[in-house]
Amino acid sequence: MAERTGSNTNRKKNRDPPVLDETQTEIRQMIREVVSRKSPKRVQDDDEGSGGYIDLKSNVELKMKPFLVDFDGGGGGGGGDGGGGGGSGGGVGVSGSSWGSMNSAASAGKPVNTTSDSMTNPMSPDKAATRSSPSRSSGVMDWDYEEDLLNRQALATQREMEKLKKKRNELRYAKKLEEMKREFQSDLALIKEKAERELHTRVTSLRSEKEARLRKVENFKSELKERIDALCRCYEEVSVRGVEVGREFKQVETKIIDEARGIVEQEKVKMETELRENMTELAGQLGVRGV
């Protein structure tokens, strides 16, 4: 036993300081808080990854149980005789018999075996189940193994958290897509409504303009008809006046011709009379009788 303890100490001194991520740091902080509340001993400061270990001999159940259940609050391990079930959020359940043996060993002050099958890596249960804990064979708590176990559980939890983050991002993307679709539909409805209003306004304006132009055409037709009627009346009046003027012209022409004929006849008779008188006078001068 002393040799194994010495070998464990040498391994702790020779190994490189572990690189802790946020999940492992939170787990170690939670372990320190539990130990500081429940155990008279204090935890060695290991914030910088110096490779220190934690003394959990006083109460193993209270110190280990918070890190073997659901880290994200999704589901926890069941205690008591009914056994424990793993939570959906990435936690690992521990059976009631395991907790009972751990409690009895802790109360008797004996080394506690915390490497049961239910505390193995939830991401690879077959491999973890076949791996035997050094604590079972030696009876001494192998803190390297426990730390490795916690690291594997933290990695499994981190994977689950990454899956949950991915799922959350997918849900956010789907939600954002739905919001964009609703916004697009709303914008499309607004654009359609605006276009319909503009089209209705334009159609109303065109109809009003058409009616105004039709009224102008009707007014022009009425004016044109009135003008045509006036022209027709003027033509009729001119025609009647032309007939009257033609009749009057004929009357005047006939009167002038008759007057001219009368004057010509008078002048003819006058000239014949004068000619006869002149012939008689000339015959008398010449001494011709019987002219």
Phi first, then psi, for residue 290 (nearest 5°) are 75, 25
Predicted local confidence at residue 146, as pLDDT: 86
Of all residues in the chain, what percent carry a pLDDT higher than 70?
54
| Per-residue pLDDT tens digits for 167-178 | 999 999 999 999
Q: What is the mean pLDDT of residues 217-239?
A: 93
Most confident of 61-65, 141-145, 251-255: 251-255
Look over the chain and give the mean of its residue pLDDT values, rounded to a whole number: 70
Extract the tokens encoding 145: 């193994």
List Cβ neighbours of 275 (8 Å cut-off, separation of 6 or more): none
Which of the four pLDDT bands, split at 50, 70 and 90, describes residue 202?
very high
* pLDDT bucket at 29, cuts 50 / 70 / 90: confident
**Predicted pLDDT at 27:** 74
Q: What is the pLDDT of residue 95?
A: 41
Confidence of residue 134 (pLDDT cuts 50, 70, 90): low
Say which residue, 158 or 7, is predicted with more confidence. Answer: 158
pTM above 0.75, yes or no: no
Distances (CA, A) of 124 to 46, 113, 149, 160: 28, 21, 12, 13
Mean pLDDT of the 66-92 span:
41
**How is residue 215 written in tokens?**
């009224």
